[in-house]
Structure formats: C-alpha cells, structure tokens
Amino acid sequence: MTHKAVEQLVRAAGSGAAELDAVTAAMRPEQVASILIDEVLFRAGIPDNDWPVVIEVRIMTKGLTIPYFIRAAKGVPVDLIPQPSPDKRVAMRIDYDVAELARELFGSRDNLESAARATTPLPRATKAGPGSSTSPEQLAYLGAAAQAVHAVLEGCTSKAPDLAKLAVRHRSAKNGLVHRFGPRYERHLRPLRRESLRVLEIGFGGYDSAFDGGSLRMWKHYFPRSWIFGLDISDQSHLDEQRITTLRADQSDTDALVRIAGQYGPFDVVIDDGSHINEHVRSSFAALLPYVRTGGYYVIEDLWTSYRPSYGGSEDPADCGGTSLGLLKTLTDGLHHEELPVAGIGGYAAANVTGLHVYHNIAFIEKGRNTEGGVPRCPTV
Ligand SMILES: C[S@@+](CC[C@H](N)C(=O)[O-])C[C@H]1O[C@@H](n2cnc3c(N)ncnc32)[C@H](O)[C@@H]1O
C-alpha cells in the first residue's frame, strides 16, 4: 500500500463527487477496496457476540463486487478470514458502493449517513442449524449476527469517537491510569478533527509493552483524515501501518528533529510525550515550533517533571530557569513582548505564540503571529 494512494483517496473523499470518481477510476479497484477495508477493520468496535460469526462486506466498484469476510467474536478485534466454506455460512452481508464508503470513512462532513448501505441477514445453513427459525439456538445466532454487524458498522464511519474511550481501547497512557488528558485534548483538538492534519507525537513506545504505539493508533482513530507520525528513541517500525509512520530519533538531538520536521512537516499538532527531561522539553520546543503550522498546537505533557531533580527539574518553583514550567512562564511574558520595555525579548516564540492553556500536567501552546501591536506608552500609563 503506498502512502500516496491513501493520501489521494483521503483528499478526494473530502472533495466533490467528480474528484472522488476521477481518483477511484484512476486506481485499481482492488487497491481502493483494500485501503477502505483496512480502515474499516481498524475502526470497527470490539464485538460483544458470544457466538462467533462471519460478516461479509462487499465493496461495489466499476461493475465489480469485491467481497471481504470478517470474523467477529466476543472481546477480540475483528479480522479478515478467507471465504468460509458453504457449511460455515456468513451471518450477515453489508454492501457498500465504493464512493459512499470512501466518503463515510474519509469525508470532511460529520455524521454522514450513507443511503447506499444495505445489510442482509443470511439464513443459517440447515445442516448446522436446528431446523426451526424460531428455536432458541436460531434466535441466539441472529442476536450474535446483529451484535457482530454493529461492531463492523462502527468501523464504517468517521463519527466523533470519545477520546478518553479511544485511549483505553488503543492502550495509550493518556487517559485511565494516572492521567486524565482526554477532555483537555477534546477541548482543543476536536474543532480540527475533520481536517487533513499532520500530527507528530514524540514518545509513543511506552517503557513497557503495555503502551506500544497505542497513542499513535488513538490519534489515527480520532483524526479520520490525518497522517500520524511517531518519533521515539527506540526503533518501532513494526508499528507502521496505513496513516501511521514511525521515526527513530533522540529528541535531545535537535539537528535530527529539524531534519525530520523538514522532511515530514510542517505539522498541525506536535505532542511532546517523550523523555520528559526538562532540558529536552525546552530544546525540542525551540527546534520544532517553527515547523508547527499557524493555528496549530504544540502540546507538552507531564509537566510534573518540572519539580523533579531527577528529570532536571527543581522542587523550588522559583528556580525554574531550566524547567518546562519555566518555559511556559517565559512564553507568558513573550505573549506580551510588544509591551516589554526591552525590544527583542522572547525571540521567535514571542512573535509566534498566540495563546497558552496550562492545565494540571499538560499545556497547549497555540502557534500564530503574535504581532497585534502593543499598548502605546504615554507619560501617565
Ligand atoms: C510515556 S512513554 C509514551 C507514551 C505514549 N505517548 C502514550 O500516550 O501512550 C515515553 C516514550 O518516550 C520515549 N523516549 C524516552 N526518551 C526519549 C528521547 N530522548 N527521545 C525520543 N523518545 C524518547 C520512550 O522510548 C517511550 O516510548
């Protein structure tokens, strides 16, 4: 799967019908269908049906019908299987026109409901069934099919999911155990959700396997039209997948950050959830802020390390010259650089940060031109 093909399809799905038709016509039908089904499997809910069933998703394109068979069993992510044998019939069939499914997955409108979708319950093979459509076994089977189809249809949409739930589902440290960052992110990032963004997260591997890449998958799910880049000190390239690219670098190496940002940026959102060493937080911010787009955010997590000497912090809040909270305090002065008596104070950040939102352990820094013009000085003010 080439990134270019995915990018073309996502962009076209957010444009008019003619653009989408032109892009799908130029690609092989199997390639388009495979990009779409990959996304459906990724976004699908975790099934709740006790009785495992197979759901068929058929994607109709250019006179072709491309079938996919999805196994849904309680508590396990859905997955593709080969076409089942006739004695293991599919329980339900979902039909989609290729353009409708592309628009539902990658379109720029919220709450798009497709008229093209058809769901068909298929009778269970009499050989394996109890022989009566009203037997308890048959009813249980139909109930399982309904639950499974619900899980698959959850994957056929880009409706706004709850970020805190996504953090738990994809196993990110952002919400659940220690942190409650979900609502903070929702507040600032939800308005950007339908845009085609480039999101960079520093630190995504987790120090143990419990959080491996979870935050990258969470962002991929939350931003249905975006590209997610993860930078980590350790090689995690096995986590690369459609719309997720991992990059290896030590965030204290600012030359590497600038090189990577030049190649993959500019970014709409940068999240620093890496080493949390105060010096690294400060130097990464200085290196990457120029590569954040106007209107974008630079987010710093785990501000508590400002107070930990083991991370280069200080237990004395006044001794903040080298800490991440000290950086935020300087940025607050920088916001008012036009009123500061000494010209040039604050440098690039002062002229390019328009807002700061500091919460318990997390800060959102808004990028933009901060040159409104200062309050004029006069002898009495
Ligand atoms: C707290 S975990 C990230 C958790 C993840 N973002 C989440 O929300 O689930 C911190 C990550 O930062 C990475 N890291 C530590 N030091 C780093 C450095 N100097 N440069 C880049 N990444 C670093 C670690 O390998 C680890 O994967």
**Strands 53-61, 227-232: pairing kind:** unpaired
- Residue 66: phi and psi, rounded to 5, are -105, 110
Q: In a structure prediction context, what are the per-residue pLDDT tens digits for the chain, which is 381 residues long?
A: 578 999 999 999 999 899 999 999 999 999 999 999 999 999 999 999 989 999 999 999 988 999 999 999 999 999 999 998 877 788 999 999 999 999 999 999 876 777 677 888 787 644 444 445 567 888 888 899 999 999 999 999 998 788 989 998 998 888 877 888 999 999 999 999 999 999 999 999 866 555 689 999 999 999 999 999 999 999 999 999 999 999 999 999 999 999 999 999 999 999 999 999 999 999 999 999 999 999 999 999 999 999 999 999 999 999 999 999 999 999 999 999 988 877 666 789 999 999 999 999 999 999 999 998 888 877 665
The DSSP line for 140-209 is: HHHHHHHHHHHHHHHTT------HHHHHHHHT-TTBSSS-B-HHHHHHHHGGGTTS--EEEEE--S-SSG
Please indicate, yes or no, whether residues 49 and 175 belong to a single structural domain of this protein. no
CATH number at residue 32: 3.30.1050.30
Residues 135 and 218 both lie in one domain: no
Domain that holds residue 47: 3-154
One domain, residues 173 and 143: no
Query: 310 in a domain, yes or no?
Result: yes
Query: Same domain, yes or no, for 177 and 245?
Result: yes
Domain co-membership, 240 together with 331: yes
Sign of CA dihedral 332, 337, 339, 344: positive
CB 147 within 8 A of CB 108: no
**Considering the entire predicted model, what is its pTM?**
0.92
Check whether residue 181 and residue 146 sit in a common domain: no
Residue 15 lies in a domain: yes
Asked whether 209 lines ligand 1 (CB < 6 A), one says no
Decide if 355 is inside a domain.
Answer: yes
Whether residue 344 lies inside any domain: the answer is: yes
What 3-state DSSP class applies to 55? strand
Q: Which of 154, 184, 211 is the last residue of a domain?
A: 154
How far does residue 289's CA lie from ligand 1's centre (Å)? 19
- Strand partners of residue 228: 199, 244
One domain for residues 57 and 138: yes
My answer on whether 88 and 181 are in the same domain is: no
* One domain for residues 135 and 268: no
User: Does residue 275 line the site of ligand 1, with CB under 6 A?
Assistant: yes
Pocket test residue of 238, 247, 275 for ligand 1, highest count of atoms within 8 A of CB: 275
pLDDT tens for 278-295 read: 999 999 999 999 999 999
Looking at the 3D structure of the chain, how many domains does it have?
2
**Which residues, other chains included, contact 289 with Cβ-Cβ below 8 Å and sequence gap of 6+?**
298, 348, 349, 352, 353, 365, 367
Does ligand 1 come within 6 angstroms of the Cβ of 215?
yes
